[in-house]
Structure 1
Amino acid sequence: MTIKEYMTQNHKECDEILAQLENAVENNNWNKAIELNEKFKNETLKHFDIEENYLFPMFDEKASTGGCGPTQVMKMEHEQARTVFPKIEESIKEKDSDRFFGLSESLMILIQQHNSKEEQMLYTMIQNLFNDENETIIEALKNYEFN
């Protein structure tokens, strides 16, 4: 498995949890929605954390970007997504499915566009730069601790 494949698979896993969350809300299973929302938020934030605190700094250093360029844009998009999580949580607590679906659709569009850029451009660049260290990096990604 490559770094790009690993990170892309993680995107798919987060997408699947969001789909399960949407199904729970659609079925008015609010207890399940609370559980799935927490799982979705934690998995997505862990993914962001892996990128922001491990992959992106490594890339920026080796590519000599100075923290500017593609990783800066990705971090800004992570911040946009982070602002939606509390609103989604609130909509679930209020059992407001209309508000939930408006927010989840907006978040899904943001995340899909974001993931597409990462998968097509940034992960390819990271893979090319660190291909010789692929196994070591994959092991680090698998064992990444998120608090």
Structure 2
Amino acid sequence: MLTQTISAFMTSHHKECDEQFAQAEESVANGDWTLGSKQWQAFSAELEKHFTREETILFPEFEEQTGMTGGPTQMMRMEHEQMRALVNEINTASENKDKDHFLALTETLMITMQQHNMKEEQILYPMTDQSLSNAVAIVDKMKRN
């Protein structure tokens, strides 16, 4: 049986979130608010699930085992808060069916997510794979949450 690395598991979840995001954005761009709102809510829930996995499971384990509490995980948490604020603004635009504002905000969120994910995928996740002796258990725990 192949064991899944933290990098592989979390990068795969980034891709799933990206696909949901693109579907919601496309539906709204096409004027289908019913489908777009439903897709947006599904994406938002999945994004929050991702952040929560990192903030409650992965980051604390990494910080505990490496002693690094003020470095990459602190930056990732700050970026999570920035993205949460954008999601809240996008929720308002969605509720108001303000297509132009929705699409402008989602463009900002997409750029922010791409930069954030690149840092995690190229720096933080490989660090966790190398540093955490219990990576398999961490992936299993994240799968359950």
- Scaled by the length of structure 2, what TM-score is found? 0.94
Runs of at least 5 residues in structure 2 that lack an aligned partner in the other structure:
none
Structure 2 residue 55 is matched with structure 1 residue 52: yes
Matches within 5 A, 1:65-104: 65=68, 67-104=69-106
Name the stretch that deviates more: 116-125 or 87-96. Answer: 87-96
* Structure 1 segment 87-126 matched on structure 2, within 5 A: 87-126=89-128
Q: Which amino acid aligns with 2:71?
A: G
Task: Structure 1: state its 5+ residue gaps.
Answer: none
Query: 1:14 offset after TM fit, Å?
Result: 0.6
1:2-13 → structure 2 map (5 Å cutoff): 2-13=5-16
- TM-score of the superposition, structure 1-length normalised? 0.93
- CA root-mean-square deviation: 1.0
Q: Which amino acid aligns with 2:114?
A: Q
What amino acid maps onto 1:140 in structure 2? K
* Cα offsets for 1:125-145 (capped at 9, x unmatched): 000012x4333222111111x
Q: How far apart in 2 are the matches of 1:124 and 1:93? A: 39
After the TM superposition, list the runs of 4 or more consecutive aligned residues in structure 1 that deviate by more than 4 angstroms.
none
CA distance in 1, matches of 2:135, 2:66: 16
Letter in 2 for 1:136: A
Give the match for residue 143 of structure 1: 144
The equivalent residue for 1:26 is 29
1:93 deviates by: 1.8
List per-residue Cα deviations over 1:25-64 (Å, max 9, x = no partner). 0111101111111111110011000001110010011111
